[in-house]
Amino acid sequence: MEGIVCVAVWAVPLAMVTATAMWAYRWSHPKVNGQLPPGSLGFPLLGETMQFFAPNPTCDISPFVQERLKRYGSIFKTSIVGQSVVVSADPDLNYYVFQQEGKLFESWYPDTFTEIFGRDNVGSLHGFMYKYLKSLVLRLYGQENLKVVLLSETEHACRSSLASWASRPSVELKDAISTMIFDLTAKKLISYEPSKSSDNLRKNFVAFIRGLISFPVDIPGTAYHECMQGRRNAMKVLKKMMKERMAEPGRQSQDFFDVLIEELRREKPVMTEAVALDLMFVLLFASFETTALALTLGIKLLAENPRVLEALTEEHEAIARNRKDSDAALTWAEYRSMTFTSQVTLEIVRLANIVPGIFRKALQDIEFKGYTIPAGWGVMVCPPAVHLNPEIYEDPLAFNPWRWQNKVEITGGTKHFMAFGGGLRFCVGTDLSKVLMATFIHCLVTKYSWKTIKGGNIVRTPGLSFPDGYHVKFFPKK
Instruction: Please classify residue 106 by burial: count the beta carbons closer than 10 Å to its beta carbon, then call 0-12 exposed, 13-18 middle and 19+ buried.
Output: middle
Contact 289, 178 (CB under 8 A): yes
Q: What is the dihedral of CA 230, 231, 236, 242, to 10 degrees?
A: 140
Distance CA 317, CA 61 (A): 36
For residue 276, give the amino acid letter: A
CA distances from 421 to 47, 99, 383, 418, 435 (A): 26, 11, 9, 5, 18
Q: What is the DSSP track for 50-103?
A: HHHT--B-SSSPPHHHHHHHHHH-SEEEEEETTEEEEEE--HHHHHHHHHTBTT
Angstrom distance (rounded) from CA 454 to CA 294: 19
Q: Where are the alpha helices (DSSP H) in 328-378?
A: 332-336, 339-352
Which residues in 366-389 are b (16+ Cβ under 10 Å) and which e?
Answer: bebeebbbbeebbbbbbbbbbbbb
Cβ-contact 368, 96 below 8 angstroms: yes
- Side-chain half-sphere CA neighbours of 162 within 13 A: 22
139/161 Cα distance (integer angstroms):
27
**DSSP conformation letters of 167-232:** TSS-EEHHHHHHHHHHHHHHHHHH---GGG-SS-HHHHHHHHHHTTTS----STTSHHHHHHHHHH
59 known member of a binding site: no
Residue 121's SS3 state is: coil
- Which residues belong to the annotated binding site? 427
Point out the annotated binding site for heme.
427
